[in-house]
Amino acid sequence: MKIIAVAAALAMFATPALAQTTSPSDTTPPDPPGYQPPPQPMVPPGVRPVYVQAPSPDVAFPPPAPLASYPPCKKGQFDGCVERNSPK
């Protein structure tokens, strides 16, 4: 059994590989016009980009203002309500 496996492995490595006559890019048709715009530089040539540090998360995403009063929670509700037996 081992001899058959070794013979098969040697046969795979001993045979020369067949050369491809066409490349995959030759067989695919070109895209029709209008599907993809030509590549454009992100910044026009000669213009230096300006890098600005991002604001901190508490400035960029401020928390919502608290409500004047919250309704009691219903079964399965956890947000925007207050528990029924909590002190006020």
pLDDT tens string, the chain, 88 residues long: the values are: 778 877 777 777 766 666 656 555 556 666 666 677 777 777 788 888 888 999 999 999 998 899 899 899 999 998 889 988 877 6
Residue 22: per-residue pLDDT: 58
Asked whether the beta carbons of 49 and 38 are under 8 A apart, the reply is no
CA–CA separation, 47 and 40 (whole Å): 14
On whether the CB atoms of residues 65 and 59 are closer than 8 A, the answer is: no
